[in-house]
Amino acid sequence: MSTSHPAPRGRLFWIGTAAGWAIILYGLRGVFHHSLDTRPSQLARFWIGGAVLHDLVLAPAVLGIGVGLARLAPRRRRATLQQALIICGPLALFAYPEIRGYAHILRNPTSLPHNYTVNLLLVTGAVIGAVAITAFIRRRAGNIRATSARTGPARQDIEAPPGNV
């Protein structure tokens, strides 16, 4: 039996596709119509380069980190590590041009006024701390629930009349 994903179909698909492509073509027309500003060949390199960079570098790197995490990290710590990485990764990506200080070439003292390396470390430290505390609290709550389950139902569960449960 074929397990392929169901192909899109129906009137809504074709109407939406026609409308969407009309807008896409309007955008492409704008790119070429204003080619002095948009420099289509270079812009296309950025479009394609971004997707290639994501698909062939970033996504495999994330997969690799995931595989490493699954093999190296203790099972009960995996979710916590995942949370920390998922939050800190985009923070680092966002802060990259700030840390590199590309804007300093413009000699505008009000642009990039902070020490972004230190600030990124502060923010990621706070994130890791918050994630660790959350995991600790959840583990404690889980332990308490497990203990309750072993020792039987809580007192109020026994005493509560059925209608109020």
Partner 1 sequence: MPVPELLDRFTTDPDLPLRQHAYQSPLRDERLAAWLGAALGVLFTTCFATGLFSHLHQHPLSWLPVPARPAGLYRLTQGLHVACGIASLPVLLAKLWVVWPRFASFPPGRRIADAVERLGVLALVTGGIFMVFSGVANIAQWYPWHFSFTAAHYWTAWITIGAIVAHLAAKAPVTRRALRRPRHRPALADADPVLGTSAEGLHDGLDRRGFLLTVAAASGVLTVTTVGQTLPGLRRLALLAPRDAGDRPVNRSARNAGVVEAAMSPDYRLRVEGRVATPLTFTLAELRALPAHTAALPIACVEGWSYSARWTGVRLRDLLAMAGARSGAAVDVESLEQHSPYQVSFVNHHQAQDRDTLLATHLDGEPLSEDHGFPLRLIGPDRPGVNQTKWVTRITVL
Range 43-62, binding partner 1 (CB under 8 A) = 43, 46-48, 50-51, 54-55, 58-59, 62
Does the footprint of partner 1 cover residue 87 (CB under 8 A)?
A: yes
Does the footprint of partner 1 cover residue 133 (CB under 8 A)?
A: no
Stretch that binds partner 1, among 67-75, 139-147, 152-160 (CB under 8 A): 67-75
> What separation in angstroms does the CA of 69 have from each of 17, 86, 122, 129?
40, 13, 24, 19
Candidates 72, 93, 144, 146; binder of partner 1 (CB under 8 A) is 93
Candidates 10, 152, 162, 163; binder of partner 1 (CB under 8 A) is 10
Distance CA 120, CA 125 (A): 8
Distance CA 142, CA 136 (A): 10
Does the footprint of partner 1 cover residue 123 (CB under 8 A)?
A: yes
- Residue 131 CB neighbours (<10 A): 20
Q: Identity (one letter) of the amino acid at 15? A: I
